[in-house]
Chains A and B, each alone.
Chain A
Amino acid sequence: MKGNEALLSVLGLLERLEMSYMVTGSYATNVYGLPRSTKDADVIVEAPAESVSAVLDQLELPLRADPQMLFETVTASRRWIIGVDGSPFVIEVFLLNNHGFDRSRFDRRLRLVLMEGVEASVPTAEDVIVQKLRWVARARRAKDMTDACNVMMVQAGKLDWAYIERWCGELGAEAVLAEARELAED
């Protein structure tokens, strides 16, 4: 099973159960920026942990959900990992937490039509930029800065800068926002 088939199969399950979710990470970045290779898909779900566990129990081979829920201390997020037998591709499922920005980007999510009858929820371009810069401010990963700049360049003229500035200010990412805007200037 290929990565996209695996993800669409998980999203199909969430859609059938009418669970609120959105696809974040590289998938969302690719929607607004320059497409780049990704070895995983990140999905945020708004549901009690027990409900998510119950959903993941319904997955069928070659999808295999790690029965152990993990806790990430850096982001204070709870997550599960779904592996695909015979592939290094993984899907990470996170529980939505109560952080103001995480809540805001989840509430602003959009529906993206992937093909006839198949849709997925994704964050807005502004929220992708803020999330990437939040990570740059904390971890200084080069690819996060590149991703943020790529989204700024591809979406030039269409972004709500007041929203981006407000959240970058609240998240301590003003300096990296200024750096990214300079790098993304044409």
Chain B
Amino acid sequence: MDGIAELVARIDREKVGRARQMSAAEKFLAGAELFEEACAVTMQGIRNEHPGIGEEEALVELKRRLALGARLEERLGMARR
């Protein structure tokens, strides 16, 4: 195993270990919290790209980007079939 592969394997093992330490309730609630944190960063990026953009318009752009991600996921799935 090369250095990068070893590092990736170690990080994965650490992630599994951390997940085992969390309670089921914490993990149940974590997905939406992580999503909101990610959206907050993307919204900030949108505001930086488009100075003066309104909240409604920024939200439309965020939704457009999320839809692009969903389409890409579908395409990747189809390519593997």
A residues with a Cβ closer than 8 A to B are 2-4, 7, 23, 26-27, 30-39, 41, 86-89, 112-115, 120, 122, 139-143, 150, 153-154, 186
- List, in ascending order, chain B residues with CB within 8 A of A86's CB: 55, 59
- List, in ascending order, chain A residues with CB within 8 A of B77's CB: 139-142
Is the Cβ of B31 less than 8 Å from the Cβ of A27?
Answer: yes
- List, in ascending order, chain A residues with CB within 8 A of B24's CB: 31-32, 112
- List, in ascending order, chain B residues with CB within 8 A of A30's CB: 27-28, 30-31
Q: In chain B between 18 and 68, which residues have their CB closer than 8 angstroms to a CB of chain A?
A: 19-20, 22, 24-39, 55, 59, 62-63, 66
- List, in ascending order, chain A residues with CB within 8 A of B19's CB: 33-35, 150, 154
Q: How far is the CA of A41 from the CA of B31 in the complex (A)?
A: 9
Q: How far is the CA of A186 from the CA of B13 in the complex (A)?
A: 9
CB distance from A113 to the nearest CB of B (A): 6
The number of residues on chain B lying at the interface, defined by a beta carbon within 8 Å of a beta carbon of chain A, is: 34
CB distance from A49 to the nearest CB of B (A): 26
A-B interface pairs (CB < 8 A), number: 93
B residues with a Cβ closer than 8 A to A are 13, 15-16, 19-20, 22, 24-39, 55, 59, 62-63, 66, 73-74, 76-78, 80-81
Main secondary structure of the interface of B (DSSP, over half): helix
Is the Cβ of B31 less than 8 Å from the Cβ of A112?
Answer: no
Is the Cβ of B16 less than 8 Å from the Cβ of A153?
Answer: yes
Is the Cβ of B35 less than 8 Å from the Cβ of A89?
Answer: yes
Is the Cβ of B33 less than 8 Å from the Cβ of A36?
Answer: no
Residue of B nearest to A139 (CB): B77
Is the Cβ of A35 less than 8 Å from the Cβ of B62?
Answer: no
**Which of B13, B22, B66 has a CB less than 8 Å from the CB of A88?**
B66
Is the Cβ of B29 less than 8 Å from the Cβ of A114?
Answer: yes
Q: How far is the CA of A154 from the CA of B17 in the complex (A)?
A: 8
